[in-house]
Structure 1
């Protein structure tokens, strides 16, 4: 089974709010809703991830988008 998570972090290295769903469309709606309800500000990070049984969590999307070179 795959679990989809939306992680909202308001400041770098700060606590997170995490929601978890078994259906990807539900998680994607929650991800878009969080993006639409939060103004951009330094340190804010909203991530959509997926994790299959026994595998590491993989990031599907993030906002604001992270750069490909690993620098935030």
Structure 2
């Protein structure tokens, strides 16, 4: 079983994303936190922390205009 960790950044809903991939979960969490800090004043930015195991992705955290939520769903 192989696990990868991702942080994604979108500047608009359903727009293209910047994505980083790491084998260490702490590194992905750090990047997620950095991006939230950098872009928290932009109301359309969405940042996600994602875990992928054997090709299946699971969103752990999502940050957007309404703040942070656990999991994938956030109202945009």
Structure with bigger strand share is: 2
Q: Which structure's relative contact order is higher, taking Cα pairs within 8 Å and 6+ residues apart?
A: 1
RMSD over aligned Cα, in angstroms? 2.0
| Equivalent pairs, count | 70
Q: Which runs of 5+ in 2 are unaligned?
A: none
Q: Which residue of 1 aligns with 2:57?
A: 57
CA distance in 1: counterparts of 2:8 and 2:70, whole angstroms: 18
Q: Is residue 7–residue 48 contact of structure 2 (8 Å, CA) maintained in 1?
A: yes
TM-score, normalisation: structure 2: 0.79
Q: After TM superposition, where is structure 1 displaced by more than 6 Å over at least 4 residues in a row?
A: none
